[in-house]
């Protein structure tokens, strides 16, 4: 096995061109599990950790850019957490402190599991995934990036460079149901964003379908019922109907972690709770 440790993105791209089957390695918290389970046997590895640019982020008034190599530990607090509270909340639910120190958003996107905790936040915030290849940069909206269970539209010679997000004003939060109080894979999760600036409500669901699901019908229905440039009203009937419409968007399955019925129920409860948190 060959291991390459590039220190710049261009070097990494050159290496990827020269070794088209090479495995990109960021925090390794997904990759090493696969290797340990013999599900993958990389012949060649390109480790991205020494590329300083990938581990940086910028928070500007009109745009937040997060390098693909930024670990969850950096999203949990500081300027990123202040600008993107939902991402901070999602980051805090990931694994253990060790996993959060190593695991990255780029890796979450590379794996593209429906249970990936960063992904509903990117979906709800309409994030753009910035990819780079020998052909140059390419920007893909999250909704077009994730295409199925552990499938995405990244080309083999592309590296995820960063994600960019337009800041929102108002409330955003993320909540995740697991059967254990920490370090647990999501059974159902919801990211709720109320952007008073764009008068929109955006809600994305994790672990209840092959991809992250945006409950667009429920979003539009709510926007037709309320003035989303203001704080949302909290009367019971409205919230209940919104939550039901959100749950209707879920496409959950039965598996050894949970049941479809519970997952759909949990989505409804979380949608209701996050909505109500936004009104407090």
Partner 1 sequence: MKNATSTTNRSTGRNVLGTSALRPDGVAKTQGNFAFSSDFQAENMLWGATLRSPHPHARVVSIDPTEAWKIAGVEAIIFADDVPGKATYGLIASDQPVFARDVVRYMGEPVAAVAADHPETCRRALAAIKVVYEQLPVLSDMDAAIDPSTPAIHPDGNVIRHQRIVSGDPNIVGDVVVEGTYEIGMQDQAFLGLEAALAYPDPGGAGVELVVATQWLHEDRKQIADCLGLSPEKVRLVLGGVGGAFGAREDISLQVHTCLLALRTGRPVKVQYSREESFFGHVHRHPGRIHLRHHADRSGKLVKVEGWMKLDGGAYASTSAAVLINGITHLQGPYACDNAVLDAWATRTNNPPCGAMRGFGVVQACFAHEGQMDRLAEALGMSPVDIRLVNAMKTGDKLFTGQVVDSVAPVARCIRETADIPLPPEPSRVTGSLELPGGSGRTSDPGHIRRGVGWGVSIKNLMYSEGFDDSAEAKCTLADGVATLKFATAEVGQGFVVLAQQIARTVLGVDTVILDTIDTQIGSAGSTSASRQTWMSGGAVDGACRLVRERLFEHVAHLHNLDPLQLVIEGTEIVDTLGPLRVAVADASTGLRIEQTFLHRHRATEELDENGQGNCHVAFAFVAHRAVVDVDTDLGLVKVVQIATAQDVGQVLNPMALLGQIEGGIAQGLGLAVMEEIVVDDGIVRNPSFTDYLLPTALDAPDVVAIPIEEYEPLAPLGAKGVGEPPCISVTPAIVAAIRNATGRAIMRTPVRPQDICLAD
Positions that interact with ligand FAD (CB under 6 A): 23-31, 33, 48, 68, 93-95, 99, 102-104, 106-108, 110-111, 116-117, 159-160, 183
One character per residue 176-195, x = contact with partner 1 (rule: CB under 8 A)? xxxxxxxxxxxx-x------
At its nearest, how many Å lie between partner 1 and the CB of residue 29? 12
- In angstroms, the CA 7 to CA 26 distance is 13
Q: Return the number of the residue (216 or 277) whose C-beta is nearest partner 1.
A: 277
φ/ψ bin of 116: left (φ > 0), alpha (ψ from -120 to 50), beta (otherwise): beta
CB-based contacts of 18, cutoff 8 Å, min separation 6: none
List Cα–Cα distances, 218 to 89, 127, 225, in angstroms.
23, 20, 11
One character per residue 90-129, x = contact with partner 1 (rule: CB under 8 A)? --xx--x---------------------------------
Q: In this chain, which stretch among 29-37, 159-167, 208-216, 234-242 interacts with partner 1, using CB under 8 A?
A: 29-37
Nearest Cα residue to 140 out of 131, 148, 132, 149: 131
Count of residues touching partner 1 (by CB under 8 A):
38
Q: Return the number of the residue (17 or 183) whose C-beta is nearest ligand FAD.
A: 183
Q: Return the number of the residue (108 or 211) whose C-beta is nearest ligand FAD.
A: 108
Q: Which of 1, 20, 21, 37 contacts partner 1 by CB under 8 A?
A: 37
Q: Return the number of the residue (117 or 268) whose C-beta is nearest ligand FAD.
A: 117
Q: Which does 112 bind (CB under 5 to 8 A by kind): ligand FAD, partner 1, none?
A: none
CB-based contacts of 119, cutoff 8 Å, min separation 6: 108, 109, 112, 113, 142, 146, 204, 206, 212
Cβ contact 227:199 at 8 Å = yes
At its nearest, how many Å lie between partner 1 and the CB of residue 241? 17
Could you tell me the maximum CA-CA distance found in the chain, to the nearest angstrom?
Answer: 61
3-state percent helix, strand, coil for the chain, nearest multiple of 5: 40, 25, 40
Q: In this chain, which stretch among 126-134, 153-161, 168-176, 233-241 interacts with partner 1, using CB under 8 A?
A: 168-176
One character per residue 234-273, x = contact with partner 1 (rule: CB under 8 A)? ---------------------xxxxx-xx--xx--xx--x
- In angstroms, the CA 204 to CA 217 distance is 12
Tell me which residues touch partner 1 (CB under 8 A). Answer: 33, 36-38, 89, 92-93, 96, 174-187, 189, 255-259, 261-262, 265-266, 269-270, 273, 276-277, 280
């Amino acid at each position: 096995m060959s291991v390459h440790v590039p220190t710049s993105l261009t070097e990494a791209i050159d290496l990827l061109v020269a070794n088209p089957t090479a495995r990109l390695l960021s925090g390794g918290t997904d990759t090493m599990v696969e290797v340990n389970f013999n599900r993958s046997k990389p012949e060649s590895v390109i480790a991205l950790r020494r590329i300083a640019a990938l581990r940086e982020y910028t928070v500007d008034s009109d745009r937040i850019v997060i390098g693909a190599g930024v670990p969850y530990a950096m999203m949990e607090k500081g300027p990123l957490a202040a600008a993107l509270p939902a991402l901070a909340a999602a980051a805090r639910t990931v694994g253990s402190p060790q996993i959060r120190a190593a695991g990255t958003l780029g890796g979450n996107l590379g794996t593209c599991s429906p249970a990936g905790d960063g992904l509903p936040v990117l979906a709800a915030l309409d994030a753009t995934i910035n990819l780079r290849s020998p052909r140059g940069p390419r920007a893909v909206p999250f909704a077009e990036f994730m295409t199925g269970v552990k499938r995405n539209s990244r080309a083999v010679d592309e590296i995820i460079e960063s994600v960019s997000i337009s800041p929102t004003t108002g409330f955003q939060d993320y909540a995740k149901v697991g059967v254990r109080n920490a370090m647990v894979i999501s059974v159902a999760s919801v990211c709720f964003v109320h952007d008073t600036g764009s008068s929109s409500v955006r809600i994305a669901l994790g672990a209840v379908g092959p991809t992250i699901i945006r409950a667009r019908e429920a979003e539009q229905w709510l926007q037709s019922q309320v003035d989303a440039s203001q704080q949302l009203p909290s009367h019971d009937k409205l919230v209940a109907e919104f939550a039901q419409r959100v749950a209707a968007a879920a496409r959950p399955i039965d598996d050894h972690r949970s049941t479809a019925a519970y997952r759909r129920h949990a989505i409804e409860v979380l949608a209701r709770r996050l909505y109500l948190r936004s009104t407090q």
